[in-house]
Structure 1
Amino acid sequence: MLQKLKSFSAVTARVWALSLPYFKSEERWKARGLLAAIVGLNLAAVFMLVQINEWNRVFYDALQNKQADVFWQQLGRFALLAAVYIVIAVYKFYLTQWLELQWRRWMTRHYLQRWLGQHLFYRLELSRFARAHAQGATSPDNPDQRIQEDVNLFTSASISLSMGLLNAAVTLASFVGILWGLSGSFGFSWQGSDYSIPGFMVWMAVLYCVAGSVATHYIGRPLIALNFGQQKLEADFRSHMGRVREYSESIALDRGAAVENQQLDLRFSHVMRNTLDLMRAQKRLIWFTTFFGQAAVVFPFIVAAPRFFSGAIQLGELMQIASAFDRVQGSLSWLVDNYDSLAGWRATTERLASFEENLNAQEAPTQGLTTQTGEGLRVDRLSLTLPDGAPLLAPSSAQVAAGAQVLLQGPSGSGKSSLFRALAGLWPYAQGSITQPADVMFIPQKPYLPNGRLRDALAYPEVASRYDDAQLREALAQALLPHLGDALDQEDAWSQKLSGGEQQRLALARVFLKQPAWVMADEATSALDEASEQLIYQRLLALTQRRGGGLVSIAHRPALAAFHDHRWQLEPLPGPGRAFRLVSAAAEAAQSTP
């Protein structure tokens, strides 16, 4: 029991932590106002149900007594009560949907800003490797599903279930007194003594619902884990199909369609297996809840029938008792009626809370690393590790002054790309100090090209309207892509349409378009032929010299050494392990040792 209370407390704390930010945000007054209006409409709806319950007694008594005038009068009263109740129900639904929509919009934008801010989307992917090696750690899988699907499910289910619980509590408070007064006392004799149980129908409703709630919990408990697993398996299946589409050309060239089909079929079989388990668990729950609901229809008549047949109560009072019992039983059966929804909502809450925890962990500042902006590029006592904690770069220092060109080289796996990411401020597993130049562009080996117009892909991440057509065409010509000058307004999936070399040249065209003082390139011309590569580097060198900046390149081709006057070399340290140190060919003695 103590463990269950701790689990309930943990879930409540997670729900509170996820919900509170919106109601304390810049939209708090609108959010609180909508919530207050919905609560008020729920209370008004319960009040109308109390009035309709009282109407039941008068109406059915009129039928039993054949009072035609009272009958028609009560029909008119019912029409008025029903009209008011309909208006309340419609606006309660509309305002609830409106609050769900506004809450989802705020949470989605909130998580998008956090996920895309501070490069957390990149850090979360890096942390997968580290968490895979950490015992008991959970991987922050499928952030797209968390933001798109789980936020929607969380906001709608939270409002629906909380308002349902509030409605059940208010209905119980409103009708339990009515039922208590109507049900009378139940008298019986035991061992020669007479006993009386006041409010007998209330106690029967409580007993009926407690028994049903306990049974529902034990029957439906597996649904929580199955719902959680279902969302994860569905997302894994969808994610792998996305990767097949993203790497369609490579898979086709490798003749890998059969393998991918096997992988997708395996993931889909996991989805189907979990779905079948979920269906079986839901079937068991529906067996019980349907029986419970149908039995509740006749249960109050069975209990109250002896008093009716003895003449103690009339038909109207019997119907009022049945109506009040139904309201009390329905309120007490809230858990029974909503267990399936609660299981799905709890699974959604757990996934969203896990995503929140991962974001919080990645938002924490990198320990031991300081970054600043200066005139040139400088690293002081910089050390790098892999995500699993294995050492990669021993503490090293180096600098690049304005006007210099540095070629970074080293064996495969020595950490060249990791050092490149650290210089860009992306690698979180670093210690030391980095000084970056202010006007710098980083060019990766595999550039990102958004789908849409070519002019947008060329100007990315800036808006294309900042540049005129002449500037865009000139940049394409500088990057040896003059044939694309007439396709600026053509929309396409450029990462699929352009060859690897054309994609790299389009990324270089961004450099010629934006004219940075500093350029740092990680194998940015590896897909180009040697003649094109040399011509591109001549133009990059002229650009950086004209702007008074510098050039830092990672490359393997010996011919590129002619465009650089300094060399940084990653050399392995002696002894076991795979750590390296950074050595400058121009001033080897000045470099730090581990």
Structure 2
Amino acid sequence: MTDEVNTSDQQEESVTLLSITKQLYRLYRPHFGLSGKNLKRTLWLLGIILGNTLLAFALAFVNVSMASLMGLLSVPGVTYTGFFYAAAQCVAAVVSYGFLTGVDAWMASLLGSSLAHSINKSLEKRWTKTKAYYGTTLLSKNPLNPSQLMSHDNYELNRAVTELFDNFLTTVSNFAVGMIGLYMLSVPLEISLLSFSFAFPGYLVASTVIYALVYNSITNKMGNKLEDLQTTQRNMEGKIQSKVHHIKTHAEAIAFKKGTKYEHQSLMETIKQTKVFQTGSSKVRSLLSFITNLHAEFTSFFALLLCAPNIIAQRLSFANVLEIPYHFQNVVNFFTWKSDNFDKVTECAVTLKRMEEFNDTINEWEKIQKENAPHLQFSAGNKREIKIKNLSLKKPDGSPILTNFTQSIPKGKVTLLQGASGIGKTSVLRALAGLSPHARGEIQGLTEKTYFIPSHPYFPMDRSLLDAILYPRKQKATKEEIKKIKSLMNELGFKPQTIHDLEVVQDWFGHHLSDGEKQRIEIIAAIMAKPDTLFMDEATSRVDHDAKTDNKGKIERLLKKHLPQTTIIYTDHNPSEGTFCDNKIYLSNAKKTAAKRK
């Protein structure tokens, strides 16, 4: 069995209402208060609480009205006037109860939508503003994907929580009405045994509570088992999604390597493992459903069974007998609330756990940033060179990449970082760009106007090529800029149709462009940005190196032509032999050796 299959054996603790309440308090506390939009949510919350309090009184009014009507019907010689008056009271009570229920549900819906929007904004802000979208990929090999969390899961969680909260308040109010009703209807139960007589006042209340506790204990044990199975099933379903996404992302490579059978077997194995837990969940859910349905049908019978001695002794009226099952059910519902809403509670618990894991990961990233920020200093330096002083880099696990690396890089020149794969070339570029959380040392001479071309080109979603070139700028391009971009595209050998579609919105990262064309778009973006310093990490690795097309040579000449004053620092596993590079820095054995060529 795989680690995922054994997840159920490693569950920490059962989900309890107390643990969920604590999690919800931590989640919702920043979104309530007496200022701004928080005040609006606070008022809605108070409205829901007030609404359920009024519902309790309305319910009591309904019960009294129904009891009066039933009592009136049992009296001989009842008049139509008396009957219709009692019926009108019942209708008024039911309408009032229905109206309050509708208003209460409306406020719960408003609160759920507002909370979902507020929490989404908070999550998105933390994820993007702190660069956690980047940092979390460094902290874990399998970082939590927040896409579903910040869309479907978040909205479903808040909808479910507000519904459950409203339902719980209703259950509590009904419980209070039920307890009072049962106590008032509990004619002392008298039992004679030999020469002794015993009287049990309030026996209906005690019997109802005992029944509810026994039923709740049984359903809780089954619920905890179902919870473990559902959590593991959710993890396995996530693994299926990850594998399908992996196959989709690397479809061409898999097809070239003839890996169809391998991927099919791997995916089917995961699907089979998931089916085991789906089957287990279905069995437990079916048994739980059987017990729940049995309880629903048995409740009225058990209530009447408890009343049987007093019914036989004619100590309870017909109207009272009709009331008792209703009050009995309301009291039982309070104790069985979690099991009755088990699916929703479990879904909330699973989503809350994922949300806390997401927040914990961001907290870890923020902590690392805060602790390490003082150790990597950036200063103005001079206009002649960029100085790297005692730069030490580590991996997230603490193993060293570079130790006390010191080097001077002349400004306005092109410098190539060379070294074996894994020696730390990209890590140095990340440190210079301020993206290395585990860096120590000092960087002098860098300005704010820097530009980084990653090894894998980036294109924003649902945007045009023009937007991709100007990213992340939101200001519209001028006619002169568009003209220059088209000229650069023409010089770099783009097809006329691609140049014509510069402002067309489509999936440019898909199959509309080759990998080499995507990299050339990044080069054009760098030229348009006109940075003081340009970092390029294998920026031309996918560009055709054929001597006839000379695409790489065209790129290098364009960079020299349009960015003559820009300091260019780049890595390249296959550097050209031309005059593009002015200096070379060799990295070896976590220490530097340098050689310069003018």
In the superposition, the TM-score normalised over structure 1's length comes to 0.89
Amino acid at match of 2:376: T
Using a 3 Å threshold, how does the CA distance of structure 1 residues 9 and 584 change in structure 2: closer, same or farther? farther
Residue in structure 1 matched with residue 574 of structure 2 by the alignment: 557
In structure 2, the residue matched to 1:136 is: none
- State the Cα distance separating 1:564 from its structure 2 match: 2.4
2:453 to 443, 457, 471: 443
Residue 576 of structure 1: aligned partner:
none
Superposed CA deviations along residues 356-407 of structure 1, whole A, max 9, x for unmatched, are: 1111111124334324363664332211222332221122122324223211
- Residue 53 of structure 1, CA deviation: 0.9
Structure 1 counterpart of 2:355, from 352, 357, 365: 352
Deviating more after overlay: 313-322 vs 458-467: 458-467
Cα 1:8–1:172 shift into 2, 3 Å:
closer
Match of 1:34 among 38, 44, 68: 44
Per the TM alignment, residue 475 of structure 1 is displaced from its structure 2 partner at its CA by 4.2
Partner of 1:112: 124
Correspondences of 1:100-179 after superposition (within 5 Å):
100-129=112-141, 140-179=143-182
Match of 2:109 in 1: 97
The 1:300/1:348 distance shift into structure 2, 3 A limit, reads: same
Kept after mapping to 2: 8 A contact 1:179/1:325 = yes
Amino acid at match of 1:514: A
Paired residues of 1:142 and 1:236 also in contact (CA < 8 A): no
Counterpart CA distance in 1 for 2:593 and 2:18 is: 55
| 1:17-416 equivalent positions in 2, closer than 5 A | 17-24=26-33, 27-66=37-76, 67-69=78-80, 70-129=82-141, 140-189=143-192, 192-366=195-369, 367-368=371-372, 369-372=375-378, 374=380, 377-416=386-425
What RMSD over aligned residues (CA atoms) do the two structures have, in Å?
2.5
Matched, 1:457 2:468: yes
Do structure 1's residue 492 and structure 2's residue 502 form an aligned pair? no
Q: Do 1:228 and 1:348's aligned partners in 2 also have CA atoms closer than 8 Å? A: no
CA distance in 2, matches of 1:315, 1:29: 50
Deviations along 1:467-525, one digit per CA (max 9) or x if unpaired, are 43324423433544363220123333222221111010011111122222221101101
Q: Deviations over 1:121-176 (max 9, x none)?
A: 222122223xxxxxxxxx64333233234323432232222222222222222331
Q: Which residue of 1 aligns with 2:542?
A: 527
Q: 1:424 & 1:378 partners in 2: Cα distance?
A: 14
How much does 1:337 deviate?
1.3
Separation of aligned partners in 1, 2:95 and 2:417? 78
Native 8 Å contact 1:407 1:564 kept in 2: yes
Equivalent residue letter for 2:132: L
Tell me: CA distance 1:275–1:447, structure 2 relative to 1, closer, same or farther (3 Å).
same
SS in 2 for 1:34: helix
1:426 corresponding residue in structure 2:
435
Partner of 2:9: none
8 Å CA contact 1:168, 1:332 repeated in 2 = no
The reply to whether residue 474 of structure 1 matches residue 483 of structure 2 is no
SS where residue 54 of structure 2 aligns? Answer: helix
Q: Which residue of 1 aligns with 2:7?
A: none
For residue 256 of structure 1, report the CA deviation from its aligned partner. 2.9
| SS class of match (1:27) | helix
**SS, match of residue 516 in structure 1:** coil
- SS of 2:362's equivalent? helix
How far apart, CA to CA, are the structure 1 residues paired with 2:276 and 2:27? Answer: 31
SS of residue matched to 2:209 = helix
Structure 1 residues 246 and 214: CA distance shift in structure 2, 3 A: same
User: After the TM superposition, which of the residue ranges 512-521 and 68-77 deviates more from structure 2?
Assistant: 68-77
Mark the CA change 1:403 to 1:454 in structure 2 (over 3 Å): closer, same or farther.
closer
Task: Give the aligned residue type for 2:468.
Answer: A
> For residues 432-476 of structure 1, what are the alpha-carbon distances to aligned partners after superposition, in whole Å with 9 as ceiling and x for unaligned?
233432111100121012343332223222236244332442343
Q: Distance in 1 between matches of 2:499 and 2:15?
A: 65
What is the one-letter code of the residue matched to 1:528?
V
Residue type at the aligned position of 1:126: L
Contact between 1:451 and 1:457, CA under 8 Å: does it hold in 2? Answer: no
Cα deviation, residue 297, structure 1: 2.1
5+ residue gaps in structure 1?
130-138, 573-579, 588-594
* SS of alignment partner, residue 197 of structure 2: strand
Q: SS state of the match for residue 140, structure 2?
A: helix
Q: Which amino acid aligns with 1:122?
A: Y
In structure 2, distance between residues paired with 1:195 and 1:335: 36
SS of the residue corresponding to residue 387 of structure 1 reads coil
- CA drift of 1:5 comes to 10
Moved more, 230-239 or 550-559: 230-239
CA contact (8 A) 2:427 2:436 kept: yes
Structure 2 counterpart SS, 1:313? coil
Q: Which amino acid aligns with 2:505?
A: E
Q: Percent identity?
A: 23
Question: In structure 2, do the counterparts of structure 1 residues 93 and 378 end up closer, same or farther at CA, with 3 Å as the change threshold?
Answer: farther
Per-residue CA shift, 1:63-116, capped at 9, x if unaligned?
222524332222222222222222222222222122111111111121122122
* 2:536 counterpart SS class: strand
Most deviating of 517-526 and 332-341? 332-341
Distance between the aligned counterparts of 1:58 and 1:463, measured in 2? Answer: 71
